[in-house]
Amino acid sequence: MSAELGQIFLILALVLAALLSVLPLVGAQRGNEALMKLAPSLAIGQFVFLAGAFAALAIAFLQHDFTITYVAMHSNLLLPWYYRVTAVWGSHEGSLLLWMLLLGGWTLAVAAFSRSVPRAFTARVLAVMGMISAGFLLFILFTSNPFERILPGPIDGRDLNPLLQDVGMIFHPPLLYMGYVGFAVAFAFAIAGLIGGKVERDWVRWSRPWTLAAWAFLTFGIALGSWWAYYELGWGGWWFWDPVENASFIPWLIGTALIHSQAVTEKRGAFPAWTVLLSIAAFSMSLLGTFLVRSGVLTSVHAFANDPERGLFILAFMGVVTGGALVLYALRAPRIMTGEGFDWVSRESALLLNNVFFTVSAAMVLLGTLYPLIIDFMGWGQISVGPPYFGAMFILLMTPVVLLLPLGPFTRWKRDEFTRILKPLVATAVVSVIAALLVCAWLGTWSLRAVSGWVGGIWLVAGAVTYAVRTSRASRSGLARHQWGMVLAHAGAGVFLIGAAMVEAHTFERDVRIAPGETIEAAGYRFTLHEVALVKGPNWRADEARFSIYRGEREVARMNPQKRFYHRGGQTMTQVALKPGVFRDLYIAMGEELGDSGAWSVRLHVKPFVRWIWGGAVLIGLGGLLAASDRRYRQRQRATQPGGARAEATA
């Protein structure tokens, strides 16, 4: 029953999305208040039906309704209830439904929190979001319907992929999609700005908190995915430059450029066309990511589940959305005003430089990800582009960013002087280098990567702190929230850098053979294996190794890695044991039993500062959220701004 209801809800949501994409737009063009006023109601209705459809699928999972193909494929009687709920977004169809629900949620939020924005503008924004919704709902209904039935249904379902039976997986997709979908808001604002011919500084100010929030969620989503890969995959890596990861990283890089260019456009009116373009690009890259991940175009060897039909649909949709936006851009951009001037040394120039580096980085990742396609297209054979390429290029492109970043916030708008900017930072730079060298001496790590990581990381953190101290001293009211957000995010980048550099430079990793009763010394720790026991879980059984880890005479941890066997799907899986720490993680993964000797192959890792990677990313994301919550974005803007009238006249 719930399947049919869910289906009906989806269709109703589509109807409302279609109305939302047309009526308010017509209203805004004709100045018809009644039509414009429909937009919030339609947004609410759309969200209610989407939530209903989502709930219908969740209920089907909870009630073991195996007559629904999607449920039968991704759940079974043994699966605990919480994983049955998260199984809703455990595969293609359901994850699209989650995506839609979040898009509906963002639409609703825009409708609810845009009281300070003129009604015609909100109407246009919501209409654009309605178009995006309608496209995705068509996609779901025609190619990826999660409510399809198989009759008669099987008695028991298959299984949710064991890798997804995990806490990280519960939150990773929703956060990631919050980011992807959130860029739709920035996109919609830009398009509404283009359609309406509004003065750019206004719509950019309205758009900023949304963009910051979306970017913050994307940051959290990527960080969570990385953390999940780290403990779930059993290799101890945290970033693999895989196409699927790149698909989320490209929008993040563009989004980073976007939040910085928005600052310039809002404050000074400079680069308005560029900000529009980046708004379009950020969402387009989210769509491209969806395409890359779901079409199978980049799965290279022994891949499957290619669904060219789905791929073509997303591509066509992207063609309409991005293509349409870029045509509109080409038509309207020449009329966009160029804002105020600035000098060589100025905040504007600094942020322009930031944008050059971040967009080129995004282009680099895109190029590397698609290069195997290009090579194939040209008939030049087959190549692989992997971590060695991306890592080298990314470090190359980001080094100048790290070196210059602390200067940015100290730079004045319009015109400044180098000596004035550098003055407060000279001491910071000297202290950073000395501190970094002292830390390296203390840790005994003298590799180039570690030293440069510490110097760069401390420089970023110290630069942010210097800025916070100086600014709060200079003004009576202290730092505004958006400034705190910036400080936090920039310091977070430093923390991340230290973590990444230390892990890459000084991870201790050994594959060893160990039998119960034996002890192995590694990186100052002693790992003693007591026994390997058989344990049982709700839907699996496992060989569990019982380790004690000593440092000197002190036992620092007991760790029990497992090798699990899932009954239903028949998969075996390594469940690593982790002892997290601020300065190092201990990490044990079980391999195979070696013959009948009772000995096992085991991988031991000691990973210095690995937590700092995600800690830094979380700081960056929190900075974004903090900035997004700044009061000045919620203030009603002066409606009678002289610029406003001028812009209406030119439009």
Partner 1 sequence: MIGIQGSGFGFRSRLRAILALLGVVWLAAGALASAIEPYPFESEVQRKRFQALAEELRCTVCQNQSLADSDAPLASDLRDEVFRMLSDGRSDMEIRSFMVERYGNYVLYRPPVVGHTLLLWGGPLVLLLVGLVAAVFVIRKRRKAL
Partner 2 sequence: MIRMLIPLAVFLALVGLLIAGLQTAENRKLVQSPLIGKPLPGFSLPGLHDPDTMTGRDDLIGEPFILNVWGSWCWACRAEHPFIERLGREAPIELIGFNWKDERSDALRWLEQFGDAWDRHLVDYEGKVAIDLGVYGAPETFLVDHEGVIRHKHIGPVDANVFQDLMRRAMALNSEAGS
Query: How far apart are CB 377 and partner 2 at their closest, in Å?
Result: 5
Say which entry of partner 2, partner 1, none residue 277 contacts (CB below 5 to 8 A, set by partner kind): partner 2
Range 237-256, binding partner 1 (CB under 8 A): 237, 240, 242-245, 247-248
Considering only 78, 512, 522, 556, the residue that binds partner 1 (CB under 8 A) is 512
- Asked whether position 402 contacts partner 1 by CB under 8 A, the answer is no
* Owner of token pair 């929008």: 251
User: Under the criterion CB under 8 A, does residue 169 sit at the interface with partner 1?
Assistant: yes
Contact between 171 and partner 1 per CB under 8 A: no
Contact 133, 93 (CB under 8 A): no
Backbone angles phi, psi at 626, to 5 degrees: -60, -45
Residue listed under structure tokens 């409606």: 639
Rounded CA Rg of the chain? 27
The CB-of-318 to partner 2 minimum distance in angstroms stands at 7
338: contact with partner 1 by CB under 8 A: yes
Binding at 520: pick from partner 1, partner 2, none (beta carbon under 5-8 Å per type): none
CB of 329 to partner 2, least distance (A): 7
Enumerate long-range contacts of 517-520, CB under 8 Å, 24 or more apart. Answer: 518/599, 520/604
Q: How far is the CB of 214 from partner 2 (least distance, A)?
A: 21
Dist CA 38 CA 25 (whole Å): 10
Q: Assess 511 for contact with partner 1 (CB under 8 A).
A: yes
Q: Are 126 and 20 in contact (CB under 8 A)?
A: yes
Q: Residue 291: which of partner 1, partner 2, none does it interact with, CB under 5 to 8 A by kind? A: partner 2
Binds 247: which of partner 1, partner 2, none (CB < 5-8 Å by kind): partner 1
Distance CA 403, CA 354 (A): 12
- Rounded to the nearest whole angstrom, what is the least distance from the CB of residue 332 to partner 2 in the complex? 9
Mask 588-607, x = binds partner 1 (CB under 8 A)?
A: -xxxx--------xxx----
- Tokens representing residue 389 in the block: 């390429």
Nearest distance in Å: CB 323, partner 2: 7
CA distances from 95 to 172, 225, 290 (A): 11, 15, 11
Question: What is the C-alpha separation between 53 and 59, in angstroms, rounded?
Answer: 10
The nearer residue to partner 2, 233 or 333, going by C-beta atoms, is 333
Residues of span 406-445 touching partner 1 by CB under 8 A: 414-415
Q: Decide if residue 395 touches partner 1 (CB under 8 A).
A: no
Told to check if 357 binds partner 1 by CB under 8 A, we report: yes
**Binding of partner 1 at residue 475 (CB under 8 A)?**
no
Of 333 and 431, which CB lies nearer to partner 2 in the complex structure? 333
- Identify the CA nearest to 460 among candidates 423, 412, 499: 499
Please spell the DSSP secondary structure of 534-565, one letter per residue. Answer: EEE-SSEEEEEEEEEEEETTEEEEEE--EEEE
User: Is the CB of residue 5 less than 8 Å from the CB of residue 56?
Assistant: yes
Q: Are 100 and 174 in contact (CB under 8 A)?
A: no
Instruction: Report phi then psi at 637, rounded to 5.
Output: -85, 155
Residues of this chain that interact with partner 2 (CB under 8 A) are 273, 277, 280-281, 284, 288, 291, 295-303, 306, 308, 311-312, 315, 318-319, 322-323, 326-327, 329-331, 333-334, 370, 372-374, 376-377, 381-382
- Give min distance, CB of 306 to partner 2, in A: 6
| Nearest to partner 1 of 19, 401 (CB atom) | 401
The verdict on 217 binding partner 1 (CB under 8 A) reads no
Sign of torsion, CA 494 498 501 503? negative
342 is a site residue for partner 1 (CB under 8 A): yes
| C-alpha separations of 141 from 53, 97, 241, 487, 503 in Å | 12, 10, 32, 45, 45
CB of 278 to partner 1, least distance (A): 13
For residue 302 the two structure tokens come to 């022994």
User: How far is the C-alpha of 170 from the C-alpha of 83, rounded, in Å?
Assistant: 8
Report how many residues bind partner 1 under the rule CB under 8 A: 101
Of 81, 344, 377, 442, the residue at the interface with partner 1 (CB under 8 A) is: 344
- Give Cα separations from 427 to 151, 198, 432, 461 (angstroms): 74, 45, 8, 14
Q: Which is nearer to partner 1, 424 or 569 (CB)?
A: 569
Query: Would you say 45 or 368 has its CB closer to partner 1?
Result: 368
Residue 577: strand pairing partners = 588
Q: How far apart are CA 241 and CA 368, in angstroms?
A: 10
Name which of partner 2, partner 1, none residue 598 binds, using a CB cut-off of 5 to 8 Å depending on partner kind.
Answer: none
Contact call for residues 493 and 460 (beta carbons, < 8 A): yes
Shortest Cβ 466–partner 1 spacing (Å)? 26
Partner interacting with residue 360 (select from partner 1, partner 2, none; CB below 5-8 Å by kind): partner 1
Site for partner 1 in 278-297 (CB under 8 A): 289-290, 293-294, 296
- Selected from 52, 537, 569, 644, the binder of partner 1 by CB under 8 A is 569
CB of residue 57 vs partner 1: minimum separation in angstroms?
Answer: 16
DSSP H/E element including 640: none
- The first and second tokens of residue 620, run together, are 């960056």
Interface with partner 1 (CB under 8 A), residue from 22, 59, 85, 363: 363
The residue among 407, 370, 401 whose CA lies nearest residue 385 is: 370
Distance (Å, whole) CA 279 – CA 318 = 15
Q: Work out what residue 415 binds among partner 1, partner 2, none; the CB cut-off runs from 5 to 8 Å by kind.
A: partner 1
Q: Does 383 bind partner 1 (CB under 8 A)?
A: yes
Of how many residues is the chain composed? 651
DSSP 63: T
Residues 69-108 that bind partner 1 (CB under 8 A): 74, 89-92, 95
* C-alpha to C-alpha distance for 156 and 453, rounded to whole angstroms: 52
Nearer to partner 2, 329 or 527 (CB): 329
Q: Look up residue 65 and give its two tokens.
A: 């309704």
With binding defined as CB under 8 A, does residue 301 bind partner 1? yes
519 near partner 1, judged by CB under 8 A: no
Single out the residue of 113, 371, 413, 508 in contact with partner 1 (rule: CB under 8 A): 371
| Closer by beta carbon to partner 2, 377 or else 442 | 377
